[in-house]
């Protein structure tokens, strides 16, 4: 399963206000209770996207094993786009493994 880091391009920390986190769920990724700052269940597969603080940004990883690497990468790209849109800051997505 893939791991990613999403961070601001300018090196500053992401401001994770409630309205920022509220922009991340979609109709395909719904909130799920559990640890991490946010957990999103992928409706089609049941896999869980776990989002947690990791200096200097957000660490994102997947639990479940039904999504392939391309799908995981696409989900993280969507998360990054929504973060950039709501915060007004350019972000980088760094694959960690």
Residue ranges of domains in the chain? 3-95
Q: What value does the CA radius of gyration of the chain take, rounded to a whole number of Å?
A: 12
Identify the pLDDT of residue 5: 95
Residue with tokens 């990468």, as numbered in its chain: 73
Distance between CA atoms of 55 and 6, rounded to whole angstroms? 10
Contact 93, 80 (CB under 8 A): yes
* pTM (2 d.p.): 0.92
Q: Kindly report, residue by residue over 16-65, the tens digit of the pLDDT.
A: 888 899 999 999 999 999 988 999 999 999 999 999 988 888 999 999 99
- Please compute, for residue 23, the number of CA atoms within 13 A of its CA located in the half-sphere on the CB side: 15
Yes or no: is domain 3-95 CATH 3.30.420?
Answer: no
φ and ψ at residue 84, rounded to 5 degrees: -60, -40
Burial of 44 (0-12, 13-18, 19+ CB in 10 A): exposed
Q: Kindly report, residue by residue over 66-76, the tens digit of the pLDDT.
A: 999 999 999 99
Distance between CA atoms of 90 and 19, rounded to whole angstroms? 17
Given a cut of 80, whether residue 97 has pLDDT beyond it is no
Is 82 in a helix, a strand, or coil? Answer: helix
């Amino acid at each position: 399963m893939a791991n990613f880091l999403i961070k601001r391009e300018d090196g500053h920390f992401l401001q994770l206000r409630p309205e920022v986190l509220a922009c991340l769920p979609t109709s395909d990724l719904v909130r799920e209770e559990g640890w991490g700052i946010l957990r999103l269940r992928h409706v089609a597969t049941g896999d869980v996207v776990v989002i947690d603080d990791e200096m200097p940004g957000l660490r994102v990883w997947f639990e479940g094993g039904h999504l392939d690497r391309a799908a995981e990468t696409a989900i993280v790209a969507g998360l990054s786009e929504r973060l950039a849109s709501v915060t007004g800051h350019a972000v980088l997505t760094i694959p960690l493994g």
